[in-house]
Amino acid sequence: MAATHATAAANTTFSSKCSLHPSPSLCPKPPINLNFSLLFPAKSNGPHHTPLRITCNAISRPHSPASTTSSITPAGTSDTFISRFAVDEPRKGSDVLVEALEREGVTTVFAYPGGASMEIHQALTRSTRIRNVLPRHEQGGVFAAEGYARASGRPGVCIATSGPGATNLVSGLADAMLDSIPIVAITGQVPRRMIGTDAFQETPIVEVTRSITKHNYLVLDVEDIPRVVREAFYLATSGRPGPILIDIPKDIQQQLVVPDWNQPIRLPGYVDRLPKLPDEKHLEQIVRLVSEAKKPVLYVGGGCLNSSEELRRFVELTGIPVASTLMGLGAYPCNDDLSLQMLGMHGTVYANYAVDKCDLLLAFGVRFDDRVTGKLEAFASRAKIVHIDIDAAEIGKNKQPHVSVCADMKLALEGMNKLLEEKGNKLKLDFLAWRQELQEQKVKHPLTFKTFGDAIPPQYAIKVLDELTSGNAIISTGVGQHQMWAAQFYKYKRPRQWLTSGGLGAMGFGLPAAMGAVVARPDAVVVDIDGDGSFVMNVQELATIKVENLPVKIMLLNNQHLGMVVQLEDRFYKANRAHTYLGNPSKESEIFPNMLKFAEACGIPAARVTKEEELREAIQKMLDTPGPYLLDVIVPHQEHVLPMIPSGGAFADTINEGDGRSQF
Amino acid sequence: MASASPSSFKAARMEQFPRCLRRTPAILPQKLNLSQSQSWRWRWNSSACTTAARSNNNAPHPSNSIPVPVVAPSRSASASRVKRHTISVFVGDESGIINRIAGVISRRGYNIESLAVGLNKDKALFTIVVSGTEKVLQQVVEQLNKLVHVWKVEDLSREPQVERELMLVKLHADPSTRAEIMWLVDIFRAKTVDISENLLTIEVTASMRHLFLQSLLL
């Protein structure tokens, strides 16, 4: 095992066991400072970054600022970080924690105070570098941290107190786990001597979140805090990113200590197991398969969000059409000719057709989720499957690939692009016939919607939004029909524009995530396309966006029903309404609840629009008004998301017709 | 339950696979000689050979320098047979590591048949018996590999191994029956470890326990 606890001064012969990108100018030199290829490049604003000092044998390489590999440490050493405290000054554990966060380059946290985390909040007030955006519910805080992470690529940080505060984080952590979003959640805990005694506001949150976090910590020694925070950020961002929880008891937060900032992280097995550079031979083989295929399709997902440029180059070199999953929307621009948009249960007919008929499926950064594959045996049944993913456990989990590579997508694509450029003309890749076949399908089965009278079709509302924002806005959604329409009808041009709860499908995600996105990208236009069901789940965050002056535009597609469930009821349960009407049954003609009053209660300007001809103007007004804005768009509830492949179905079972107005 | 790989056992097919492979199962070094008919499925599928070996669409075989093994027809049958697998997990110690490992396995819906842990200061070695198909086992190993504090995961069922089960039996034995019991104990090469007025404690190892137990119960 390469994992030995070598100190920084060790100058031994190294073996290249750790994950790194060997550059031509390799030279072993002490101290062991490593730049790791990470999925989430940290383009942070802070000038103070500590390089990761990791205890394992490795070849060190010089810092390469803004190189092709994504590195978490730009040029900057721990010496340049100027602490508020003198070197020998003892300070509280909470101050150590806050300084550790500052050293990781954190500039914003989403923290909600409580008895067990008060010390941390007090320390935050003493910090000049970290700003706290106070949510009104811990779930809003963790979703906001997710929105921040999804929009920027940097890890989001949220803080909650013990007991109920910590348990309110559970949905957000599960969501981050399923969608592989880097989050560091910090929770307070009762003092160490009271752990296990059913104390006031005590929950064993480490036990509770064990299977929904990538890793979690219960800090039992105040000296561990710098190392644990460093490890947490490293784990959250390296390999397959995920949520990390740090549980800190109150007495440790209050204990005085002189911290040691130079503690190396102790993750020898993990570091060794990080994926290495993809092997040339495998990439060559994939390129060879591409050249032999007649009908290849690219199936890209969340794993490609950091390699959008390389993916574009790959498509340029090969001319292979691209079908994207819900998480991967934007990795390849949706308005391009070669984009088949979304595939899967509510994906376009031509994307599912392409995957069904293809003879080579290039699965890049995906996990063959059941929403995409439907019936596994029938999915891509005629194709050779090439699967590239950073997580070895995903390869072969659902669908057995013929060729697989466990590597970072960026590096794999770079390697393949290089091979393609070298071979270039010799390969003669020509998929024109295949592309034409797909173009026919695009013309035969486009995404459509019908208009009834002057009622606003929700799909049309999203299209208008797309036009008026030129496809450049950051869109966050709740979960349901509006989410699917936002995925289908808004053409995303770049990655990290589309924020949605994919794997978990957590309602109430839209508004807090938009909040986090605004904090991460203050210059961008952020629109929350929400449904009336999802909106009220985290409606309290309206207070936050007003107070913090976060210009979140909320476009609420209000159909008074729980749309997606209504659709399933219409199709499969003979339209028997089972608790899916969200309005007031005694006054059905009125819009209930009156969303405008929610906005008024928080001092946010709002408007309602019911007629199609007034829509464009209303949306324009929403975009033009500075600050937060709520637009209540009343839409009919009989609309169905089409096309639809029922759960567990195959491409042949695609439903492309009908809505709530007809009988099934 | 203890397992060990005796060196005297005839070299099993798995000894062909170098140790370093197990950490990154999806990538196989090119020098591997896959002429054995029964390879581990989880490396199999990710190897370059797989394209050639598993192509059943009459697609042209890509020319590569890796020798193409013959796919044993019984492989898919054995792949879906439920077997008991022994996994050894070497971890760096932390509080709650047992919970973590048990949690990972149960979260995926698999069942632990037995678990033995050996602790040493700051490291621990788990020997877990899981029953399931090859696919189940592969998933279990991969999921265990994802745990941060795990250093190494190995499937011991493939290797030549020695297994022992040890059973301690406490029997009610008054003087009238004691002689007979001790005679049985002698036959089965068990050992009497404790004796008192009307109690007898017997230690049995190896796999003869079935017969012994039955006779004891009489």
- In whole angstroms, give the CA distance from residue A26 to residue B189: 64
DSSP 3-state assignment of A425?
Answer: helix
Pick from A3, A220, A400: which is nearest to B151 by CB?
A3
Question: For residue A232, what is the nearest residue in chain B, using CA coordinates?
Answer: B148
Q: Is the pLDDT of residue A350 over 90?
A: yes
B64, B104, B151: residue with CB nearest A268: B151
Q: For position A129, what pLDDT does the model report?
A: 95
* Per-residue pLDDT tens over the stretch A445-488: 999 999 999 999 999 999 999 999 999 999 999 999 999 999 99
Closest partner residue to B24 (CB to CB) among A288, A400, A406 is A406
- Examine the residue annotation and report whether A564 is marked as an active-site residue of this protein: yes
| Partners of A630 in beta bridges | A554, A606
What is the SS3 assignment for A134?
A: coil
Which residues have CB under 8 Å from A662's CB, separation 6+? Answer: none
A594 Cβ contact partners less than 8 Å away, ≥ 6 residues apart? none
**Which residues are B171's β-sheet partners?**
B200
Task: Name A66's Cβ contacts closer than 8 Å, sequence gap at least 6.
Answer: A74
CATH superfamily label, A86-263: Thiamin diphosphate (ThDP)-binding fold, Pyr/PP domains (3.40.50.970)
Choose, out of B44, B51, B56, the residue to mutate when testing the contact with A (most A CBs < 10 Å). B51
Is A282–B48 a contact, with Cβ atoms under 8 angstroms apart? yes
**Contact criterion met (CB < 8 Å) for A292 and B60:** yes
Coil/strand/helix, residue A648: coil
For chain A, percent helix, then strand, then coil, each to nearest 5? 35, 15, 50
Q: What is the pLDDT of residues B77-109, one digit of tens each?
A: 556 788 888 999 999 877 788 888 988 888 888
Torsion angle (degrees, nearest 10) of CA A83, A88, A89, A90: 110
Peptide bond between residue A593 and the one before it cis (omega within 30 degrees of 0): yes
Backbone angles phi, psi at A52, to 5 degrees: -75, 120
- On whether the CB atoms of residues A138 and A146 are closer than 8 A, the answer is no
Torsion of Cα atoms, B143 then A233 then A236 then A44, to 10°: -160
Encoded tokens for B177: 């029956």
**ipTM for the whole predicted complex goes beyond 0.85:** no
Domains A86-263 and A458-642 share a fold: yes
Nearest to A23 by CA among A441, A435, A411, A385: A411
Q: How far apart are the first and last CA of chain A?
A: 62
Predicted pLDDT at A281: 94
Closest CA to B53 of B67, B65, B32, B42: B67
How far is it, in rounded angstroms, from Cα A520 to Cα A107? 10
Q: Is A138 a catalytic residue?
A: yes
Q: Is B178 in CB contact (< 8 Å) with chain A?
A: no
**Euclidean distance between CA atoms A485 and A345, whole angstroms:** 13
pLDDT, position A9: 39
| Inter-axis angle of helices A409-423 and A280-292, nearest 10 | 60
Query: Vertex A282, ends B62 and A2: CA angle to 5°?
Result: 145
Give the pLDDT mean for A156-178: 97
d(CA A116, CA A162): 6
H or E, element range at A609: strand A606-609
Q: Let me know if A201 is a catalytic residue.
A: yes
Long-range contacts of B39-45 (CB under 8 A, 24+ apart): B39/B13, B39/B69, B40/B14, B40/B155, B40/B158, B41/B75, B41/B79, B41/B134, B41/B135, B41/B138, B42/A396, B42/B134, B42/B138, B42/B141, B42/B142, B43/B17, B45/A395, B45/A396, B45/A400, B45/A401, B45/A402, B45/A404
Residues of chain B contacting residue A207, judged by C-beta atoms under 8 Å apart:
96, 99
pLDDT the model gives residue A621: 96
Q: Catalytic: which of A138, A202, A541, A569?
A: A138
Percent of all residues in chain B with a pLDDT value above 90, rounded to a whole number? 10
Compute CA distances A398 → A297, A367, A379, A503, B74, whole Å: 19, 8, 11, 15, 22
Min Cα separation B196/chain A (Å):
41
Which helix (H) or strand (E) element contains residue B118? strand B111-120
Nearest CA in chain A to B27: A405
Q: A211 pLDDT exceeds 60? A: yes
pLDDT of amino acid A376? 93
Residue of B nearest to A389 (CA): B26
Q: In this structure, what are the phi and psi dihedrals at residue A628, rounded to the nearest 5 degrees?
A: -70, 150
CB of A271 closer than 8 Å to CB of A18 = yes
The average confidence (pLDDT) of chain A is: 88
CA B68 to chain centre: 29
- Regarding predicted confidence, which is higher, A424 or A384? A384
Q: How far apart are CA A292 and CA B64, in angstroms?
A: 14
Catalytic residue among A200, A452, A572, A664: A200
User: In angstroms, how far is the first alpha carbon of chain B from the final one?
Assistant: 27
Least confidently predicted of A38-42, A191-195, A260-264, A504-508: A38-42
Any residues with CB less than 8 A from the CB of A218 and at least 6 apart, and which? A189, A206, A247, A249, B95, B96
pLDDT, tens only, A512-558: 999 999 999 999 999 999 999 999 999 999 999 999 999 999 999 99
Can you read off the two tokens belonging to residue A547? 């107070």
Please tell me the distance from the alpha carbon of residue A235 to that of residue A42, in angstroms, as a whole number.
14
- B7 pLDDT exceeds 50? no
Eight-state DSSP code of residue A487 = H
Active site annotation includes A146: no
Contact B116, B1 (CB under 8 A): yes
Fold of A458-642: Rossmann fold (3.40.50)
From A382's Cα to the closest Cα of chain B, the distance in A is: 8
Q: Is the pLDDT of residue B162 over 70?
A: yes
Torsion of CA A158, A161, A164, A166, to 10 degrees: 40
Mean pLDDT across the stretch A347-363?
95
For residue A347, name the pLDDT band (cuts at 50, 70, 90).
very high
How do beta strands B123-132 and B111-120 pair? antiparallel
Tell if the CB–CB gap between A273 and B23 is shorter than 8 Å: yes
The pair of structure tokens assigned to A649 is 């179905």
Per-domain residue ranges of chain A: 86-263, 280-444, 458-642
Q: Does domain A280-444 have CATH number 3.40.50.720?
A: no
Q: Strand order of the sheet with strand A156-160?
A: A131-132, A108-111, A156-160, A183-189, A243-249, A215-218
Q: Is B213 on the interface with A (CB under 8 A)?
A: no
Question: Which candidate in A1, A54, A402, A409 is best for mutational testing of the B interface (most B CBs within 10 A)?
Answer: A402
Confidence (pLDDT) at B211: 57
Per-residue pLDDT at B61 exceeds 90: no
Cα distance from B145 to chain A (closest Cα, Å)? Answer: 8
Mean per-residue pLDDT for B179-206?
A: 86
Tell whether the model's pLDDT for residue A380 goes beyond 80. yes
A384 contact residues in B (CB cutoff 8 A): 51, 55, 57, 59
The pLDDT assigned to B79 comes to 62
Calculate the CA A479 to chain-centre distance.
15
* Contacts of A424 by beta carbon, 8 Å cutoff, 6+ apart: none
Q: Give the phi and the psi of residue A655 in degrees, each rounded to 5.
A: -105, 125
Among A269, A289, A359, whose Cβ lies nearest the Cβ of B149? A269
- Closest chain A residue to the Cα of B141, Cα to Cα: A393
How do strand A256-257 and strand A91-92 relate by DSSP bridges? antiparallel
User: Quick check: helix, strand or coil at residue A517?
Assistant: helix
Least Cα distance to A215 among B104, B130, B218 occurs for B104
CB contact under 8 A, B142 and A405: no
Which pLDDT does position B70 carry in this prediction? 41
Q: Which residue of B has its CA nearest to A391?
A: B146
Residue type, B214: Q
Buried b (16+ CB within 10 A) or exposed e, B149-188: bbbbbebbbbbbeeeeeeeebeeebeeeeeeebbeebeeb
- What pLDDT band is residue B5 in, cutting at 50, 70 and 90? very low
Cβ separation B151–A269 shorter than 8 A: yes
Cα B126 off chain centre by: 11
A401 and B103 in contact by Cβ < 8 A?
A: no
R_g over Cα of chain B: 23
CB contact under 8 A, A404 and B45: yes
**Which of A118, A194, A201, A493 is an active site residue?**
A201
Q: B27 contacts in A (CB within 8 Å)?
A: 276, 278-279, 282, 405-407
Q: Reply yes or no on whether A342 is catalytic.
A: no
Q: Output the pLDDT for position A64.
A: 37
Higher pLDDT, A561 or B26: A561
* Cα B151 → chain centroid: 18
Other CB atoms within 10 Å distance of the CB of residue A594:
13
Identify the band that residue B76 occupies on the pLDDT scale cut at 50, 70 and 90: low
Residues of chain B contacting residue A210, judged by C-beta atoms under 8 Å apart = 96, 99-100, 103
The pLDDT, as a whole number, for residue A146 is 97
Does pLDDT of B113 surpass 50?
Answer: yes
Q: Taking Cα atoms as reference points, which of A329, A328, A326, A318 lies closest to residue A296?
A: A318
Q: By the 8 A CB rule, do B11 and A262 touch?
A: no
Residues B150, A404: C-beta atoms closer than 8 Å: no
What residue ranges in A125-206 does DSSP mark as E strands? 131-132, 156-160, 183-189
Task: Collect all residues of chain A within an 8 Å Cβ-Cβ radius of residue B107.
Answer: 211
Contact A268 B92 (CB under 8 A): yes
Average pLDDT, integer, range A71-93: 72
Q: What is the 3-state secondary structure (H, E, C) of A206-272?
A: HHHCHHHCCEEEECCCHHHHHHHHHHHHHHHHCCCCCEEEEEEEHHHHHCEECCCCCCCECCHHHHH
Q: What pLDDT, on the 0 to 100 scale, is given for residue A38?
A: 42
Each residue of A277-309: b (16+ CB within 10 Å) or e?
A: bbbebbbbbbbbbbbbbebbbbbbbbbbbbbbe
Q: Cβ contact (<8 Å) for A210 and B142?
A: no
Query: Which residues in chain A have their CB less than 8 angstroms from residue B146's CB?
Result: 391, 393
pLDDT of A277 over the 50 cut: yes
- Tens digit of pLDDT for each residue in A118-143? 999 999 999 999 999 999 999 999 99
- Residue A425 has what pLDDT? 73
Does the distance separating the beta carbons of B62 and A285 come in below 8 Å? yes
- Summary mean pLDDT of chain B: 68
Q: Which of A92, A250, A410, A463 is catalytic?
A: A250
Q: Could you tell me if B97 and B123 are in contact, meaning their C-beta atoms sit under 8 angstroms apart?
A: no
**pLDDT exceeds cutoff 70 at B12:** no
pLDDT-derived band at B164, boundaries 50, 70, 90: confident
Instruction: Give residue A98's pLDDT.
Output: 97
* Interacting residues of B89 by C-beta distance below 8 A, sequence separation 6+: B101, B125, B126, B128, B144, B150, B152, B153, B154
Among A73-82, A198-207, B41-50, the least confident range:
B41-50
Q: Which of A1, A268, A273 has the CB atom closest to B145's CB atom? A: A273
Nearest to A281 among B48, B139, B151 (CB): B48
Residues in chain B closer than 8 A to A278 (CB atoms): 27
Q: Report d(CA A586, CA A577) in Å as an integer.
A: 16
Q: Quick: pLDDT tens for A575-614.
A: 999 999 999 999 999 999 999 999 999 999 999 999 999 9
* CB contact B146 to A (< 8 Å): yes
Q: What is the pLDDT of residue B81?
A: 81
Asked whether the bond before A646 is cis by omega within 30 degrees of 0, the reply is no
